[in-house]
Copies of this chain bind each other. A is one copy, B any other.
Amino acid sequence: MAHDEFSLIRQWTRRSDGQEGDGLTVGIGDDAAVFTPTPAMEVVACCDAMVETVHFLKETMNPSDIGYKSVISNISDIAAMGGVPRYALVSIAVSPSWSAEMTSQIYDGIHEACKAYGVRLIGGDTVSAPDALQLSVTVLGEVEKGRAIRRSQAKAGQVVFVTGYVGCSAAGLHLLLQLKGTGETIPARYRQLVREHQRPSAQVNAGRILQAVRGNGALNDISDGLASELWEIAEASQAVLSIDASLIPIREDLRFYAERAGRDPLDWVFYGGEDYQLVGTADAEHVGALQEQFAAAGIPFAVIGRVDAREGQSAVACTRGGRQMPLPKAGFNHFGRPE
């Protein structure tokens, strides 16, 4: 892009949510941002990249969705630590096929996601790229000292749970790819599936409930499909997770769409991705309290298995209707390319 367009973009980044005050000493526009951490809290930091043609296509995501989702995927990582997201830094590399107008819409989405989750955009970089547009987002959050929930904390005897509904984002993407180039609109009954793909939610409230329960176990956000996330917990915790697939809640629209598409909804549940729900483990004695608190917060919470200890083993075992179901750990593969 031309230099004046870059100046425009720099202006877009300096909207009201980056204003100073409330702990932010220096906002966007200097060499770096400066903020005062909240006393007795630790800082939680994560960073995720999204690349055109690898993580999204212009045909499956509009610019504001791309911006929105790039922030959500990072807020989700903060949620998976039990933290509260506070600040975001966004680096964007824009290629010539993206107009200033489209780039402005990406920032619209970034600002929308920030606003929805109480996050302030405090910095970043805007550069040009020769080909694919890329977004790299860092989100900084806070968590009570010593209370971050790690994926290595699964212990034998705990239950395995999942929040919300999984698999919907991948089904939404499947539908978008089916419709790509046909000019057809999205049937009303599937709009929510598509929305889960384009405008996902991060489970900050769920993470905060889990963080507040003493003695809780492991936690991961589901960015790469449930199988991959379960394996990560199993390996980090050196534990065996035994899952009963029939306990995983399947949303009605997902079930319906899968049937029409001739697919098993569990394929998308286990090997889809970008659901940004949480999967974790909890002490059995806390499950009642957790169920109550999740119900009060309006967040689905389902026990889907248990943690077993087998000497020196890290694995995920899965049954379905009483039969063993192999569950390799392969993750999400957006558009059929080798990762």
A94 to B, closest residue via Cβ: B51
**CB neighbors of B among A69-111 (8 A):** 76-78, 80-81, 83, 87, 89-93
**CB neighbors of B among A36-82 (8 A):** 36-37, 42-55, 76-78, 80-81
Let me know if A134 is at the binding interface, CB within 8 A.
yes
Given contacts A51-B130, A146-B25, contact A45 B33 (CB under 8 A): yes
Say how far A58's CB is from chain B's closest CB, in angstroms. Answer: 13
Q: Which residues of B contact A6 (CB under 8 A)?
A: 339
Q: Which residues of B contact A54 (CB under 8 A)?
A: 93, 127-130
Q: Which residues of B contact A26 (CB under 8 A)?
A: 81, 148, 150
**CB neighbors of B among A310-339 (8 A):** 330, 337-339
Let me know if A197 is at the binding interface, CB within 8 A.
no
Let me know if A30 is at the binding interface, CB within 8 A.
yes
A87–B339 alpha-carbon span in the complex (Å): 28
Let me know if A174 is at the binding interface, CB within 8 A.
no
A31 touches B151 (CB 8 A): yes
Say how far A275's CB is from chain B's closest CB, in angstroms. Answer: 14
Say how far A207's CB is from chain B's closest CB, in angstroms. Answer: 10
Given contacts A93-B134, A132-B130, A134-B134, contact A44 B34 (CB under 8 A): yes
- Surface stretch bound by B, among A135-143, A176-184, A251-259, A295-303: A135-143
A43–B2 alpha-carbon span in the complex (Å): 34
A77 touches B150 (CB 8 A): no
Listed residue (A25, A76, A91, A136) with the most chain B CB atoms within 10 angstroms of its CB: A136
Let me know if A264 is at the binding interface, CB within 8 A.
no
B31 touches A125 (CB 8 A): no
A339 to B, closest residue via Cβ: B3
A83–B337 alpha-carbon span in the complex (Å): 43
Partner of A32, one of B46, B90, B125: B46
Partner of A48, one of B91, B128, B129: B91
Given contacts A6-B339, A81-B26, A339-B3, contact A32 B51 (CB under 8 A): no
Listed from nearest, the 10 A-B pairs whose CB atoms lie closest are A136-B136, A32-B46, A131-B131, A31-B80, A47-B89, A49-B91, A37-B37, A138-B138, A91-B136, A31-B77
Let me know if A122 is at the binding interface, CB within 8 A.
yes
> Could you list some 10 contacts between A and B, CB below 8 A?
A25-B146, A26-B81, A30-B150, A30-B152, A32-B80, A34-B143, A49-B127, A51-B128, A55-B127, A136-B136
Let me know if A123 is at the binding interface, CB within 8 A.
yes
Listed residue (A78, A83, A132) with the most chain B CB atoms within 10 angstroms of its CB: A132
